[in-house]
Structure 1
Amino acid sequence: MIYRPQLPVVVSLLVAFGIGLLIGTGQAPMGVWPATMLGVGLFTWFMAHRRPGPAFGYGYLTGLAMNTLTVSWVSVLGVWVGVALVAFLALWWGLLAVVVSRLTRLRFWPLLIPAAWVAMEFASGKIPFGGFSWTRLGYTAIDQPMSGWFAYVGVTGVSYLVALVANAGVFVVTDQRRRLRVLAGALAIFVLGGLLNLTPHADPETRVSIAVVQPNVNRHEHGTASYARSVTNNALSETIFALAEARTGEHPQLDFVLWPENATDVDPIEDPETRRLVEVSAHLAQVPIFVGAVMNGPEPDTRQTSSLWWHPLEGPGDMYHKRDLVPFGEWIPFREVLLPRLPILRQIGRQSIPGEGPGVVHAPIQGNPHLQVGTIICFELAYDDTSYDAVRGGGEIIVSQSNTNTYGGTFQPPQQLVINRVRAMETGREVVVSTLNSLTGIVDTRGRVDELTDEFEAASRIVTVPLRYNTNLAVHLGAWPAWASLLTTLLAFAYSYRRAPQRAGSIERNNRTQGQP
């Protein structure tokens, strides 16, 4: 049984806010993962047995603190955008608090509450407009022993384990009889995760050599007529530097050149000047260019964000169009209604059209005409199935193409790098990260980062990446653990209202006696 001491309302408000800050401190770039685990445990203790109204209010305040700390970088699009996003995301925390307050009444609450965390992350990653689940508990585990579980249970399962260990701490404090067994179980999760990190990987027989280009761009030009051209001009210039290094240094023969998302801000197939720049780049490289391009959409006044394979002799080849688009960033929900009433939305530009199918591009190179490259474009990293499809569809390597220009200098780029690291461990594929102007490099299957660039500089890296064909258990499981957690949470929440009313009533009377709302 969890009991809380009587706290004045003002103190309770401060505690709720502080818990949110603790939970958020484990996210990048802070990375203090023990603070997150402490915060999750305190969240359970603080919400235990509360009535729905107070639980929702305190949970909402916790969510405000956590999301303000971690994702307020979105306010670079406008203060009102940041305020609206944080205020909305905090609603999920209010709902989570209500659920937790009910689940603590059940016998197996230490196992059920972690499922509620997973369910909240899953739902917030889908509702509304595709969701926004950017700061999951699992991401805080990237630099601690539990990271070994990523390949087996994915970020969903690791989120469950983080919450499980945190709630085990609460259980140890509140149940003296089974303290040693619970502590042993929590320690086993850590130890086994560390041992899984030591599991040897098969030594691949084939590798590819890639010149990764970070063009950089004058951020103050964004929105001007010169911006679109300067991005592609810079990509060409940095490609030349990469080629010079490859041909004069101790590097193997390049297989292709990787450009980031929005390296061409104008359709490179239909726009003659942009096409000329890409063709010159491919001709100089004498190998294909994997272009991150903005292309004209299938309907008038629409666009698509794409990954386009460009052969030096054959020109444009296979392509992939981004599936998971940023609402109010790349497309406007209810556009016909909102656009006339909110003129600021005109800054978004043409409506983006999502693509279909897995992010895998047929990428023939010299000596390997059947190469399959998996690609994940920026915001898509937040979606498990989209990321896993890069392996399910046959991707032998994974590239992550991003335009980080808007959010440079904020928490967003280091958070995105953490997600890249998680995806590499989950999928069992090295992830080659190419950004417009920040944190370009390569992540190995242990989640380690190499050849990392600095923000706001033109740079290039030459990396050699193994081709892999394995499919980790996390990819096989996909969304099933999340759906199972959601179903379990709903059933347990409903059952909490059907259990013996005498025990529930005694808990309420005890809390009222202690002055708890």
Structure 2
Amino acid sequence: MRNAVARRGDGGRKGNVVGRRADEERRPAAARSASPWWRPESPWWRGGAAVAAGALPALAFPAPSLWWWAYVALVPWMLLVRTAPTGRRAALDGWLGGTGFMLAVHHWLMPSLHVFILLLAALLGLLWAPWGALVRLMLAGAPSRARASAALAVVPSGWLVVELVRSWEGLGGPWGLLGASQWQVPAALRVASLGGVWLVTLLVVAVNTAVALLVSVRALRLTAAGGLTACAVAVAAAGWWSPAPQTAGHVRVAVVQPGVIDGAGGAERRFARGEELTRELAGRGDVDLVVWGESSVGSDLTARPEYAERLSALSRLVGAEVLVNVDARRADRPGIYKSSVLVGPEGTTGERYDKMRLVPFGEYVPFRSVLGWATSVGKAAAEDRRRGDRPVVMTAGERGLRLGPLVCFETAFPDMSRHLVREGARVLVAQSATSTFQDSWAPGQHASLAALRAAETGRPMVHATLTGVSAVYGPDGGRVGAPLGTELGAAAVYEVPLAGATTTPYVRFGDWAVYGALAVLAALGASAGGRWLRRRTAPGTPVPPARTAHGSRVRPGR
């Protein structure tokens, strides 16, 4: 035996080298699985880093409102994903990052949903798994200039499709869209007037993609700089193509914010406080409209005519109609509705809007027969609210002011405000209540959405709440007057500028930015499919052996 080994000589050593190389090739996967969690190659470390990186963009939204942070917040996440060893790992990093993002942006829901929010965040986070694989596809290794240039369009388009899917009402709606973090940036608001919040999101993610290339691939710095320049030029072009709306008169709108009212008899006490604050408006000059917040009236006005009379008395005293919000069981049909009702000096005017889009779990439980258990672990709706069937544009006051009401959650949907403006609304009015989340980031985040809706449509928007934040924004999305914070119970009158009859490009052309993103991804799919087909049909491509009916291989020539 020893002689046989000796005769092999170097051949035996070569066999050992080959074996060691095979072991080294297998080692990284095994080492990663056995590495301590604090080591960078550990799956636990990588997973935790993905969750943390995904949570970073939340700092760009109110309350922190670090708007500039949005332009680099995705970079750590992208850098992590591009180094994933496989596409499957990149998809996992995308999922974990999406889970971290949803938890961070919606963390204020924890007191209401408790542990259920972890399940929801994990389910919604799955939407980012394909995005993670897409980032790796476009940015991994040392991409060519062509692939890097394409990434500046492909990666933002992939992110936008994720936002589009999760914007469906049943999945929670479009809360926390990345473009919405730019609500206080005038240049971004001009972009929103051109292509809605969707176009702002595309630009923000494109900047993040360019920065990720800039810091990770030295040879592509010129390409990344070109991408950043293109984004800056696009913003400048948006300002030129869609200039700020011209002011065409003013209306005086009063917002009544009762403040926090706890304890027994809260609905009646809230109504009484609203009356008290509205009476104070009698000496503040001409008022064209008074707006109360969501659920400001706890009984149907037909079933409780004394409420209607008290509101009519307020209208006569102030000299303006009062827009209230009734959260009660209807007298004329079954079920509970949330309804915007206009009340004038002679009683209700017949102008009524029933809320159409409801908050999942807050106002109804999706698939209640399956998910009804959520009511036992959180503050989910014990009874589903009923939906309205159409938007309504109301006419208020002697001046015939055309206003489009929205209720709370509905201000997150760009299509609803756009439809109201197309139907002739000159002022958008949102009635909201976020008192459940009073000491969280939610009130500020909700109020900021009104700035986006105003800029998108070129119409002013009044955001009236029960407990703050109440705010008013002009047709360019800029703030009008001082907001009423969560610490206040007060009434304020705002001189609201009106815009002319001209509407914004976003109102006229709709969600063209979304269709553009879908076209980019379709082109990517077509290109990948074409390459695969060319490889399959190229001369000399090995043809896999055919199989018989029994599954055995049939070799060519036999």
The structure-2 alpha-carbon separation of the partners of 1:349 and 1:21, relative to structure 1 and needing over 3 Å to count, comes to closer
Which structure 1 residue ranges, 5 or more long, are not aligned?
1-5, 504-517
- CA distance in 2: counterparts of 1:135 and 1:83, whole angstroms: 17
The structure-2 alpha-carbon separation of the partners of 1:490 and 1:227, relative to structure 1 and needing over 3 Å to count, comes to farther
The structure-2 alpha-carbon separation of the partners of 1:124 and 1:228, relative to structure 1 and needing over 3 Å to count, comes to same
- Deviation, structure 1 residue 312: 0.9
- Deviation, structure 1 residue 466: 2.8
Counterpart selection for 2:282 from 243, 259, 262: 243
- Deviation, structure 1 residue 266: 1.7
The structure-2 alpha-carbon separation of the partners of 1:313 and 1:475, relative to structure 1 and needing over 3 Å to count, comes to same
Counterpart selection for 2:361 from 313, 321, 328: 328
SS at match of 1:451: strand
Establish whether residue 75 from structure 1 lines up as the match of residue 106 from structure 2: no
Counterpart selection for 1:448 from 465, 478, 482: 478
- Deviation, structure 1 residue 376: 2.1
Q: Which residue of 2 aligns with 1:149?
A: 191
Q: Which residue of 1 aligns with 2:181?
A: 140
The structure-2 alpha-carbon separation of the partners of 1:338 and 1:134, relative to structure 1 and needing over 3 Å to count, comes to closer
The structure-2 alpha-carbon separation of the partners of 1:298 and 1:30, relative to structure 1 and needing over 3 Å to count, comes to same
When the two chains are superposed, the root-mean-square deviation of aligned CA atoms in Å is 3.0
Moved more, 295-304 or 423-432: 295-304
Matches within 5 A, 1:227-376: 227-244=266-283, 246=284, 251=285, 253-297=286-330, 301-336=334-369, 338-339=371-372, 348-363=381-396, 365-366=397-398, 368-369=399-400, 371-376=401-406
Alignment check: 8 A CA contact 1:232 1:277 kept: no
SS at match of 1:206: strand
Establish whether residue 377 from structure 1 lines up as the match of residue 407 from structure 2: yes
Q: Supply the AA of the counterpart residue of 1:274.
A: Y
- Deviation, structure 1 residue 172: 3.3
Q: Write out per-residue CA displacement over residues 318-377 of structure 1, whole angstroms, 9 at most, x where no aligned residue.
A: 1111111111111222335554895568962442122233342232x12x23x2101221
Counterpart selection for 2:521 from 472, 489, 494: 489
Q: Which residue of 1 aligns with 2:459?
A: 429
Q: Which residue of 2 aligns with 1:23?
A: 57
Alignment check: 8 A CA contact 2:158 2:521 kept: yes
Alignment check: 8 A CA contact 1:339 1:346 kept: no
Identity across matched positions, percent: 24
The structure-2 alpha-carbon separation of the partners of 1:286 and 1:303, relative to structure 1 and needing over 3 Å to count, comes to same
- Deviation, structure 1 residue 443: 1.3
The structure-2 alpha-carbon separation of the partners of 1:293 and 1:459, relative to structure 1 and needing over 3 Å to count, comes to same
Moved more, 399-408 or 203-212: 203-212
Larger Rg: 2
- Deviation, structure 1 residue 20: 1.5
Q: Supply the AA of the counterpart residue of 1:75.
A: M
Alignment check: 8 A CA contact 1:119 1:483 kept: no
Counterpart selection for 2:152 from 81, 85, 110: 110
Establish whether residue 216 from structure 1 lines up as the match of residue 259 from structure 2: yes
Alignment check: 8 A CA contact 1:397 1:466 kept: no
The structure-2 alpha-carbon separation of the partners of 1:192 and 1:60, relative to structure 1 and needing over 3 Å to count, comes to closer
- Deviation, structure 1 residue 162: 0.6
Moved more, 15-24 or 389-398: 15-24
- CA distance in 2: counterparts of 1:23 and 1:502, whole angstroms: 41
Counterpart selection for 1:85 from 120, 131, 134: 120
TM-score, normalization by structure 1? 0.84
- CA distance in 1: counterparts of 2:133 and 2:245, whole angstroms: 46
- CA distance in 1: counterparts of 2:441 and 2:363, whole angstroms: 20
Alignment check: 8 A CA contact 1:265 1:294 kept: yes
SS at match of 1:474: helix
Establish whether residue 399 from structure 1 lines up as the match of residue 429 from structure 2: yes
SS at match of 2:228: helix
- Deviation, structure 1 residue 216: 1.8
Q: Which residue of 1 aligns with 2:506?
A: 474
- CA distance in 1: counterparts of 2:364 and 2:460, whole angstroms: 31
Alignment check: 8 A CA contact 1:41 1:167 kept: yes
- CA distance in 2: counterparts of 1:377 and 1:391, whole angstroms: 16
Q: Which residue of 2 aligns with 1:3?
A: none
Alignment check: 8 A CA contact 2:302 2:331 kept: no
Q: Write out per-residue CA displacement over residues 389-410 of structure 1, whole angstroms, 9 at most, x where no aligned residue.
A: 1211111111121011111111
- Deviation, structure 1 residue 205: 3.7
Q: Supply the AA of the counterpart residue of 1:375.
A: P
- Deviation, structure 1 residue 500: 5.5
Moved more, 162-171 or 114-123: 162-171
- Deviation, structure 1 residue 86: 2.2
The structure-2 alpha-carbon separation of the partners of 1:451 and 1:138, relative to structure 1 and needing over 3 Å to count, comes to same
- CA distance in 1: counterparts of 2:528 and 2:69, whole angstroms: 30
Q: Supply the AA of the counterpart residue of 2:430.
A: S
SS at match of 1:24: helix
- Deviation, structure 1 residue 7: 4.4
Alignment check: 8 A CA contact 1:156 1:481 kept: yes
Establish whether residue 171 from structure 1 lines up as the match of residue 213 from structure 2: yes
Moved more, 170-179 or 324-333: 170-179
- Deviation, structure 1 residue 419: 1.2
Q: Supply the AA of the counterpart residue of 2:114.
A: V
- Deviation, structure 1 residue 487: 5.0
- Deviation, structure 1 residue 110: 2.0
Q: Supply the AA of the counterpart residue of 1:427.
A: T
Which structure 2 residue ranges, 5 or more long, are not aligned?
1-38, 141-145, 536-558
SS at match of 1:265: coil
The structure-2 alpha-carbon separation of the partners of 1:434 and 1:377, relative to structure 1 and needing over 3 Å to count, comes to same
Counterpart selection for 1:59 from 90, 94, 103: 94
- Deviation, structure 1 residue 211: 1.4
Establish whether residue 190 from structure 1 lines up as the match of residue 190 from structure 2: no
Alignment check: 8 A CA contact 1:147 1:197 kept: no
Bigger relative CO (Cα 8 Å, ≥ 6 apart)? 1
Q: Supply the AA of the counterpart residue of 2:490.
A: A
- Deviation, structure 1 residue 284: 2.2
- CA distance in 2: counterparts of 1:90 and 1:7, whole angstroms: 23
Q: Which residue of 2 aligns with 1:40?
A: 74
